[in-house]
Amino acid sequence: MKKLLVASVSVMAFASAAANANVEPEKINLESLINDAMISINMADVLPKNDAHIVVKKQSTMMLNEQTQEALHKNLLAMAKAKKDAQLLVESE
């Protein structure tokens, strides 16, 4: 009796596998899936907030301003020294 039961289960499994093999898989429209995903997903929610470009811009602007101020200060000192040297040269003549 057990052999008959095992044989019938085997036949049923074989028949089921054969029947499923003949069924064509459902075609998936990938373009439609991609479009649906793009519509339903808000990229601002998915991506982490990254304001590094703002921080770098502020830092570089500050550094440029500091370097410009230093250069102007040095030039003003050089101009003052040159003016003083010229004045001393005129007085010594």
Instruction: Give which of 37, 19, 20 is closest to 28, Cα–Cα.
Output: 37
Q: Is residue 58 part of a domain?
A: yes
Domain hosting 81: range is 49-93
Tell me how many domains the chain contains: 1
pLDDT tens per residue across span 16-34: 666 665 556 667 788 888 8
Q: Is residue 28 part of a domain?
A: no
pLDDT tens per residue across span 55-78: 899 999 999 999 999 999 999 999
Alpha-carbon distance values, 60 to 8, 14, 51, 52, 84 (Å): 80, 72, 14, 12, 36
Q: Is residue 59 part of a domain?
A: yes
Q: Is residue 79 part of a domain?
A: yes
Q: Is residue 90 part of a domain?
A: yes
Q: Is residue 27 part of a domain?
A: no
Q: What is the pTM of this model?
A: 0.39
